[in-house]
Amino acid sequence: MAKYRKLGRTSDQRKALLRNQVTNLLYNGKIVTTEAKAKEVKKIAEKLITLAVKEKDNFEEVTVKAKVARKDKDGKRVKEVVDGKKVTVYDEVDKTIKKDKPSRLHARRQMLQVLYPIKEVPTENAGKKKGTKEIDMVAKMFDEIAPKYADRKGGYTRIVKIGQRKGDAAMEVLLELV
């Protein structure tokens, strides 16, 4: 008996498909797919959520000094002339950052092996690069998804059968986060 479903694809295509579907499931909260794919995606997603729940509080807050560009009332950087060159003026500011402990860092890297980077495009800028922002899926896992499932011992996803697909009669399901 095989340990996983082959889904009629080569290994690199299968891995890409599963990574894409896991990323979309965690980003959107639900996806519609075939039953076989959903069962494979469920395995991977549940492992990632378990990892996030285990490591969600495993960090320390550290205060660091950072240089931040001084800005005027319009939001533009303030420049002054030094030795005949225009130079940006910087101020030192204390910032509090989260520093991962080693086990959380390892968990973060394991998640990055599976999750694809997501770019969010506002509707008014559809098809343009300007205004897009990169979503940090690992941070979303630790900050939003893990606290939601902290008191739960597994079973983070649900498969609901929708019916057969018209073209090839494959059983379609809704895979969603509980």
Map 114-172 to HEC letters. HCCCEEECCHHHCCCCCCCEEECHHHHHHHHHHHHCCCCCCCCEEEEEEEECCCCCCEE
User: pLDDT tier at 75 (50, 70, 90 boundaries)?
Assistant: confident
Q: Give the pLDDT confidence score for residue 144 in this predicted structure.
A: 95
Q: Give the pLDDT confidence score for residue 177 in this predicted structure.
A: 96
Find out whether 59 and 106 touch, Cβ atoms under 8 Å: no
d(CA 145, CA 56): 10
More confident residue, 123 or 87: 87
Strand partners of residue 161: 173
| pTM, rounded to two decimals | 0.84
Read off the pLDDT of each residue in 109-129 and give the average, rounded to a whole number: 87
**Which class is 11-58+101-177 in CATH?**
alpha beta
Q: What are phi and psi of 156, to 5 degrees?
A: -85, -15
Burial class for 44, CB neighbours closer than 10 Å (0-12, 13-18, 19+): middle
Per-residue pLDDT for 150 more than 90?
Answer: yes
Q: What are the tokens at 33?
A: 């797919």
User: pLDDT tier at 128 (50, 70, 90 boundaries)?
Assistant: confident
DSSP H helices in 29-101: 35-55
Q: Cα separations (Å) of 57 from 78, 101, 135?
A: 39, 10, 21
Q: Give the pLDDT confidence score for residue 1 in this predicted structure.
A: 59
More confident residue, 125 or 78: 78
Read off the pLDDT of each residue in 110-119 and give the average, rounded to a whole number: 96
Mean pLDDT of the chain: 93
The DSSP output letter for 104 is H
Q: What are the tokens at 29?
A: 């909260």
d(CA 108, CA 173): 30
Domain boundaries in the chain? Answer: 11-58+101-177, 59-100
d(CA 20, CA 53): 22
Per residue in 27-45, pLDDT tens?
999 999 999 999 999 999 9
Read off the pLDDT of each residue in 148-153 and give the average, rounded to a whole number: 95
User: pLDDT tier at 124 (50, 70, 90 boundaries)?
Assistant: confident
d(CA 142, CA 53): 7
Per-residue pLDDT for 4 more than 90?
Answer: yes
